[in-house]
A and B are shown apart, each in its own frame.
Chain A
Amino acid sequence: MGVLVALYAILIFPGLAFLSTFGLVAEYVDRKLYARFQNRMGPPWFQPFADFVKLLGKETIIPAEANATVFKVLPAVAMAAVVTAMFYIPVWDNRSLLGFEGDLIVVIYLLTIPTLTFFLAGWASTSLYAAMGAVRSLTQLFAYEVPLYMALLAPALLARTWSLQTMARWYTEHPAWMLANLLGFLVAIVALQGKLEKVPFDIPEAETEIVGGTFTEYSGRLLAVFRMAIDMEMVVGAALLAAVFLPFGLGLHPVLVFVLFLAKVLFLVALAALLRALFARLRIEQMVDFCWRILMPAALLQLLLTVVLSGVAP
């Protein structure tokens, strides 16, 4: 791959430019649907973009007590990790940009990094609310991460590969086997709410309890980058779920596959908005309890099912 092509991939498609635009679109869809579920008008289509630009223009304040370097670098780290994860997910056909055997694990790892930066950001802020948020996001990480991994590994086990594109190829050949992962899909959707820190799992940034949580001390450009990284994480998380659990129509014309990809991601975003509108925020211990007592056995059941089925799978 030439340098120019690589730069194009990193900066434009499917890298920064595409991801940030799609992230803003996804945020708009999320906010608009959430508003309509609540009987509200909702924002106009350019609102997420306007918010982003407005934040960019605001003053950036770094707490005197905080470690300035860490404080400034973390938003960029979060964003970089999310963008990198995107290179391993098939977008326009059943191949991804940098796929290799085992990239599923890499994507999962890269998607954990934003959560770690949230923790570090809260910790580095040296504010009480931010520290509470940081501890909560780490506690939450230990609760949703395992069920999420188990759920994601089940389809891979069935396809006998750790590579997202080999999986995509396998499911293109045997589309009906997609249905075997339905339970895991549900588990993953719920766990993704935890990863994206959205209701009912928005505990680390519970506004009425700990003000802004992890991001209490963040402002201006740094907050804008963090928020953009979260929007991108929403897209990449949904894209990962779409690639793993909804791998249909990948053999079509690349443009169609791309449109289908957008539709799948937006469908998952809409599903997340619905969950967000339906529930109240749980307490952290209720959340951990839920993840280990209900989500985890469900994920284990899916794994068991997969192991049994893989005996008869082609």
Chain B
Amino acid sequence: MANVTIPVGPQHPALKEPECFKVTLDGEKIVGVEIRLGYNHRGIEKACEERTIVQSQYILERVCGICSHSHSTCFLMAVEEAGKIEVPRRALWIRTLIGELERIHSHLLWLGVAGHELGFDTLLMYTWRDRELVMDLLALISGNRVNYNMNVLGGARRDITDAHRAEIRKALPVFRERTAYYARVAQEESTLIARLSGVGRLTKEEAIFYNANGPTARGSGVDRDTRRDDPYLAFPELEFEVVLDDHSDVYGRTLVRIGELMQTYDLIEQIIDGLPEGPIGPARAIRRVAAGEAVSRYEAPRGEDIHYVCTNGTDKVERVKVRAPTLGNLPAVVRMLEGGFLADVPIVVAAIDPCFSCTDRGIRVARSQGQDVWDADALRAYAIEFYRKRGLDLTRVKAPGR
């Protein structure tokens, strides 16, 4: 059989969101991959510029259905830094708690999705059943299962009561037991190990070079976690270990996520034990924010989320820039897929825990007189030159579609 190109996406059962991976095959072996983004661009950054900061927070919460709290918190952290707004300590701890609960539900969801991509639906059914427990907790605390809306500018929207804490404390042993069980399954189930190990290899050097982040990088042994490296919210006062693994493949990423779940349970225990007293937000809702700009980093379940915010002294933002973790991880995916098998495409793509709608962006070329329009090649040449001056050689990174 000659080389055939199979489109995985934009509509494909393996992908829950529209994205296109054009996979060129020699039999079952992959010889080339091309990624096309942009099927799900929603213009959120632009929408935020036209709305007030309070409204923008709700829009940004909807960037992602899984790490919704991450995006809203990351945005507000940037606004608060730019406008020099003090956030009460208790509010910071509450935000941290919701963020960690979100991590539980995201990682359990991922484990299920990974199982499904491997045709191991039993794992999917089990993890998603257990995930309901944390969804119930989030619904109990915030009233919502997905978009918790727990943040307000300068604080938290709802308080954590003793009843909430009791419920969480009751759920923790169950989580620990179930996660220990999944850890055992990952170590003992032979077909699962056969499908995960050696698949989607990404060495430590490659992970750094392709700028992988989150569990994808940590599964390749890159010691990088924003919660420890650039502590935000309550993390300076909390103790946890960054889970690393040196398998450098999908198996390693799985183990990292299971290990992180265990760390997260410890973190939640610390938070509900040490939740400081005090107000949870400003007495009056803040609307206007002083002019300034800030970049905030947040370790979302999927990796590092980065928001850039520029405020202009009004109740609107001048500019928001969102860099979702998936965008950082996509270049590494091409590397991971090359030389692999078609059967591994779904799991390798799923292993970065992709969120394509968070990542998607569009470019409009505005042609006006007297302006140079650069094509992709010129932009690439410019970028390579730009980074070369700063001592970074990016010629190894393949341009898309080549």
Name A's B-contacting residues (CB within 8 A): 37-40, 128-129, 131-132, 135, 199-200, 202-203, 206-211, 277-286
Contact = CB atoms under 8 A, between A and B. Distances in A.
Among B28, B119, B126, B191, the most chain A Cβ lie within 10 Å of the Cβ of B119
Interface in B86-119: 115-119
Q: Which residue, A200, A203, A209, A210, has most C-beta atoms of chain B within 10 A?
A: A209
Given A209-B346, A281-B119, A286-B194, 8 more contacts: A39-B126, A199-B120, A211-B13, A279-B120, A280-B119, A280-B192, A283-B194, A283-B344
A164 B121 CA distance: 37
Contact of B129 (A39, A129, A284): A39
Contacts of A40: 125
Nearest to B192: A280
Nearest to A200: B191
14 contacts: A38-B121, A38-B126, A131-B4, A199-B119, A199-B120, A200-B191, A210-B342, A277-B122, A280-B123, A280-B192, A280-B194, A283-B194, A283-B195, A283-B344
Q: Is the interface of A mostly helix, strand, loop or mixed?
A: helix
A280 B120 contact: yes
Contact of A283 (B120, B126, B343): B343
B2 to A, nearest CB: 12
Nearest to B121: A38
Contacts of A128: 4, 6-7
B32 to A, nearest CB: 15
B158 to A, nearest CB: 32
A209 B345 contact: yes
Contacts of A209: 14, 342-343, 345-346
A86 to B, nearest CB: 30
Contacts of B194: 280, 282-283, 286
A38 B125 contact: yes
B118 A281 contact: yes
A203 B118 CA distance: 10
Nearest to A201: B119
A200 B189 CA distance: 12
Given A199-B119, A202-B119, A208 B346 contact: yes
A285 B120 CA distance: 18
B342 A39 contact: no
Given A39-B125, A200-B119, A208-B14, A280 B191 contact: yes
B115 A284 contact: no
B341 A283 contact: yes
Contacts of A279: 120, 189, 191
A282 B125 contact: no
A37 B125 CA distance: 10
Contacts of B6: 128-129, 132, 210
Given A128-B4, A280-B115, A280-B120, A211 B191 contact: no
B28 A284 contact: yes
B28 A282 contact: no
A203 B343 contact: yes
Interface string B118-139: 1111110110010000000000
A141 to B, nearest CB: 16
Contacts of A285: 28, 341
A276 to B, nearest CB: 9
Contacts of A278: 122
Contacts of B365: none
Nearest to B5: A128
B51 interface: no
Contacts of B126: 38-39
Contacts of B345: 209
B12 interface: yes
B376 interface: no
Contacts of A281: 118-120, 191, 195, 343
Contacts of A129: 6
Contact of A208 (B1, B28, B117, B125): B117
Contacts of B343: 203, 206, 209, 281, 283-284
Contacts of B28: 283-285
A291 B286 CA distance: 67
B13 A280 contact: no
A158 to B, nearest CB: 32
Contacts of B4: 128, 131
Contacts of B123: 280
A38 B122 CA distance: 5
B109 to A, nearest CB: 16
Nearest to A280: B120
B344 A280 contact: no
A210 B117 CA distance: 11
Contacts of B12: 211
A208 B122 contact: no
Contacts of A131: 4
A208 B119 contact: yes
Given A203-B343, A208-B116, A209-B345, A280 B125 contact: no
A131 B25 CA distance: 13
Contact of B195 (A37, A39, A211, A282): A282
A153 B115 CA distance: 37
A206 B119 contact: yes
Interface in B190-206: 191-192, 194-195
Nearest to B199: A283
Contacts of A283: 28, 194-195, 341, 343-344
A203 B7 CA distance: 18
Nearest to A136: B28
Contacts of B1: 135
Interface in B115-170: 115-123, 125-126, 129
Nearest to A202: B119
Contacts of A208: 13-14, 116-119, 346
